Amino acid sequence: MDTSRRNASIGFVSTYSPTVCGIASFTASLLGGVAADRGSRFGLGVVDLTVGSRRSIAPDVVFAHPVGDPSSLETVIRVLNSYDTVSIQHEFGIFGGPDGVEVVDLIEGLSVPTAVTLHTVLDRPSQNQRWIVEQLAAQADRLVVMSETARDRLVMRYGVDPDSIEVIPHGTDTLFSGPSLATGVRPLVLTWGLIGPGKGFESVIEAFADLVDIAPLPRYLIAGATHPHVVESAGEAYRQGLISQVQGLGLEGMVEFDDRYLDRNSLARLVRSADIVVLPYASVEQVTSGVLVEAIAASKPVVATRFPHAVELLSDGAGITVPHGDTQALAAALRRLLTDRSLTTRMGSEAGRLADGWHWPTIGGRFGAMMSGLLEADRLVGTGVEGARVTT
């Protein structure tokens, strides 16, 4: 990082702890990475997007905004304009209004350099979703994405100027790195994350019915608590349906469930204890997957459906991608890895190579330098210097 440049203070806008979601965890890790790179959390604060009466007690939170509250949004804008720069984490479901349209009112009220991190870039958005992304692109000083696929979509599908887009990979905790902790006689295949429809667990369970002849018999562990929104709407009916599927196929000795929400240390140990990670996501739109990044950082070979981030990261040999909905292809890919130890070793080595440079302090340093560059460019423009350009 250019130490001659003053570190810009950054106001982050995001869901935050104790909210249980990927964006809340991402923002906490990103802020921590920036702080680790700088050696201080000074000048870093979070506006927490809240629903209902829940409030964060995290010391980083400077204001809690009940989404959809116009009077609160006015305060949010005043708070954020007191920082040098603002970082908005964007997902359609975390702001108020249809498709989270409230974010447009937010960014229009900001007078400081602003970067928007897009966690979703839809290939086929609705008219309203497209309009929101176009407004963010028009108002933001920088759009940040975590994959080349997302960048290409913004350019080709939304007409965004490529010079306004920054690709900064999803970071990982150092906890996921290090030697494998897989020691069991029976190989462990792992999927983890918040449990709910659309994750494709049913297809892996069905695929395991074709793997009963492998010796030693493999295990499949589905680890994670049910998503809070799923619990609110349907209780544990979805998980019970998966358990019934396992019982119907007679796979009780192969498929296991762990319904705990693990802390980062426990999760990292679990991932490092796996032999193979399988990500059977049903979505064909997913351009960013933190779980995929963590699996690669742990040097685990990955079997995944062909969602965009998996195709991008696994194409050089860190895993195998299979068509969505093709249970036979999924079973065949798992069989290859479960019966060919040299293949899993090669893929694990490629995964470890790929993850070089993904640790959060490194990613935080890149992000912090970008934000400081936006501040410097804004000041040069304010003093009448022509041709000011951000460098990171």
Residues with Cβ < 8 Å from 356, sequence gap 6 or more?
none
Average pLDDT, integer, range 335-358: 94
What is residue 336's predicted lDDT score, i.e. its pLDDT? 97
Asked if the model's pLDDT at residue 377 lies above 90, the reply is yes
What is residue 391's predicted lDDT score, i.e. its pLDDT? 46
When computed from its CA atoms, the radius of gyration of the chain, rounded to whole angstroms, is 22
Buried b or exposed e, range 127-139, using 16+ CB within 10 angstroms: eebeebbebbbeb
Q: Which helix (H) or strand (E) holds 322?
A: strand 319-322
What is residue 310's predicted lDDT score, i.e. its pLDDT? 97
Distances (CA, A) of 102 to 21, 112, 136, 139: 20, 18, 11, 14
Average pLDDT, integer, range 333-337: 98
The position carrying tokens 């995290």 is 58
Q: Which tens digit of pLDDT belongs to each residue from 250-261?
A: 999 999 999 988
- Rounded percentage of the chain residues whose pLDDT exceeds 90: 86
Q: Mind giving me the DSSP string for 114-141?
A: EEEEES---SS--HHHHHHHHHHHHH-S
Model confidence at 54, in pLDDT bands (50, 70, 90)?
Answer: low
Q: Determine the longest span between alpha carbons in the chain, in angstroms.
A: 73
Q: Which tens digit of pLDDT belongs to each residue from 237-277?
A: 999 999 999 999 999 999 999 998 888 999 999 999 999 99
What letter does residue 162 receive in the DSSP assignment? Answer: G
Q: Which tens digit of pLDDT belongs to each residue from 171-186?
A: 999 999 989 999 889 9
45 near 77, Cβ under 8 Å? no
**Domains of the chain with bracketed CATH:** 10-171+359-382 (3.40.50.2000), 175-354 (3.40.50.2000)
Q: Which tens digit of pLDDT belongs to each residue from 139-170?
A: 999 999 999 999 999 999 999 999 999 999 99
- Strand order of the β-sheet with 44-50 is 61-66, 44-50, 10-14, 85-90, 114-118, 142-145, 165-167
